[in-house]
């Protein structure tokens, strides 16, 4: 291992961690969003309709969700760095397979492999943040990583549009292969191990299932996870529907996806910046409450605009940008609250949070988006319902606890494995 990777956690520059973890978090959005401009080209080559092409997203998200249950606990057992490196190797091989796919079934198979590996950086990265920092400092680092993560959905479809403008769709997956190789080298050379051997444990499969079962039965964990999941689903419904929303509703071209993604991600970036600045100045509860209030205002504006206007213009993306700002305010608070509930099993907690959120995203991409995307009013109403559900779950938690976590010690001990 290079000397730089042997450096202690305490000497790891936070700025370096922001860049590395932000880069790893970008893999997921890039793997989803760079494909959107190529959908018509791919559908023509494979003889597939819109619903069939949508499955390239659904199978990816389902595999992402299932493997999210594994990445975190394995990193608790053998260390964060090893898991991230192994996941990147699989991602590179899967991307090569996608680029060489001769038909849709083969592409779907390699998309499953992509989904199994693409989440490792995001899921394990959250545990890395909580390994090295606490309290307000952790919220700031999480917010900075979220800012970089937010850039990816804005850049990815633009890059995808440029790529299909001068090459065929396989070039998108060769680009993802190069991204994976670059991140593999960066992690190998610059990311230290943040989970020392003394803090690790190796649960048996039975213990692991029991840990997940206890977490899944924890009402507070479920409320936090569902609140964050539904809140983000309001925006993800539009992301999953981007090919229809951009090409049909906004009547733009394949290289103009940036008109949707750039304002939306600008809102998310601003929200992440605000979350970092508010850390220590405003309580976590009030910051999250502000974020949910912004999301509800955005939902009302979005529904009202779609009811009032028949011919959609680029003004339609402004409520989505406002919604993204609110989501970015809420996300770091809920994530850190979940991780603080299980201080010895942050990897497992991150995995379970991701699993719940991704199951919801899979349902949105595979069922809700195809059902609603053809009608802009229905799309706006569906997003509004998601925002409302997220807020109600958050309000329920605040009403129950009257404060943000950390959880009481007995709640953490409930899933602590026996000494090995």
Least trusted range by pLDDT, from 180-189, 367-376, 410-419:
410-419
Q: Do residues 225 and 389 lie in contact, with contact meaning Cβ atoms separated by under 8 Å?
A: no
What DSSP string runs through 6-68?
A: HS-GGGS-HHHHHHHHHHHHTHHHHHHHTTGGGHHHHHHHHT--HHHHHHHHHHHHHHHHHHH
216-228: average pLDDT: 90
| Interval 186-208: pLDDT, tens | 999 988 888 878 777 766 677 77
Using pLDDT thresholds of 50, 70 and 90, give the confidence band for residue 402.
low
| Interval 47-105: pLDDT, tens | 888 778 878 988 898 888 888 888 878 888 888 899 999 999 999 999 999 999 999 99
Centroid of chain to Cα 2: 30
Flag whether pLDDT at 416 surpasses 70.
no
Flag whether pLDDT at 293 surpasses 70.
yes
What's phi and psi for 282, nearest 5 deg? -130, 140
- In order of their start, the domains of the chain are 3-192+204-413 (1.20.1250.20)
266-280: average pLDDT: 83
Using pLDDT thresholds of 50, 70 and 90, give the confidence band for residue 298.
very high
Indicate yes or no: pTM above 0.85: no
Q: Average pLDDT of the chain?
A: 83
Nearest to 199 by CA among 339, 77, 341: 77
Q: Rg of the chain over CA atoms, in angstroms?
A: 20
Using pLDDT thresholds of 50, 70 and 90, give the confidence band for residue 405.
very low
The helix/strand/coil state of 279 is strand
């Amino acid at each position: 291992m290079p000397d730089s990777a042997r450096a202690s956690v305490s000497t790891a520059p936070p700025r370096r961690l922001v860049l590395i973890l932000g880069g790893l978090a970008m893999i997921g959005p890039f793997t989803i969003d760079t494909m959107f401009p190529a959908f018509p080209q791919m559908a023509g080559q494979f003889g597939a309709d819109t619903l069939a092409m949508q499955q390239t997203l659904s199978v990816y998200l389902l595999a992402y969700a299932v493997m999210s249950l594994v990445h975190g606990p394995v990193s608790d057992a053998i260390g964060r760095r090893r898991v991230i490196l192994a996941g990147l190797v699989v991602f590179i091989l899967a991307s090569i397979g996608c680029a060489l796919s001769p038909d849709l079934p083969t592409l779907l198979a390699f998309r499953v492999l992509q989904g199994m590996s693409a989440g490792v950086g995001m899921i394990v990265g959250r545990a890395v943040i909580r390994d090295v920092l606490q309290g307000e400092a952790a919220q700031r680092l999480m917010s900075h990583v979220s800012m970089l993560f937010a850039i990816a959905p804005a850049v990815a479809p633009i890059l995808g549009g440029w790529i299909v403008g001068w090459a065929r769709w396989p070039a998108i997956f060769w680009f993802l292969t190069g991204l994976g190789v670059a991140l593999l080298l960066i992690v190998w050379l610059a990311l230290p191990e943040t989970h020392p051997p003394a803090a690790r444990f190796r649960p048996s499969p039975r213990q692991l299932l029991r840990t997940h079962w206890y977490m899944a039965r924890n009402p507070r964990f479920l409320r936090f996870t569902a609140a964050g999941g539904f809140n983000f689903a309001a925006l993800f419904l539009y992301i999953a529907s981007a090919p229809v929303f951009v090409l049909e509703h906004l009547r733009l071209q394949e290289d103009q996806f940036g008109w949707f993604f750039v304002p939306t991600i600008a809102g998310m970036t601003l929200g992440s910046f605000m979350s970092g600045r508010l850390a220590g100045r405003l309580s976590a509860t009030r910051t999250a409450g502000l974020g949910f209030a912004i999301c509800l205002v955005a939902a009302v504006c979005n529904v009202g605009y779609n009811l009032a206007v028949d011919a959609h213009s680029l003004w339609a993306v402004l409520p989505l940008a406002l919604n993204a700002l609110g989501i970015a305010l809420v996300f770091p608070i809920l994530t850190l609250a979940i991780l603080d509930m299980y201080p010895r099993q942050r990897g497992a907690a991150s995995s379970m949070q991701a699993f719940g959120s991704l199951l919801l995203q899979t349902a949105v991409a595979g069922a809700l988006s195809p059902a609603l995307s053809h009608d802009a009013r229905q799309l706006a109403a569906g997003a509004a319902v998601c925002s409302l559900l997220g807020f109600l779950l958050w309000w329920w938690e605040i009403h129950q606890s009257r404060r943000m976590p950390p959880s009481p010690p007995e709640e953490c001990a409930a899933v602590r494995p026996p000494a090995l």
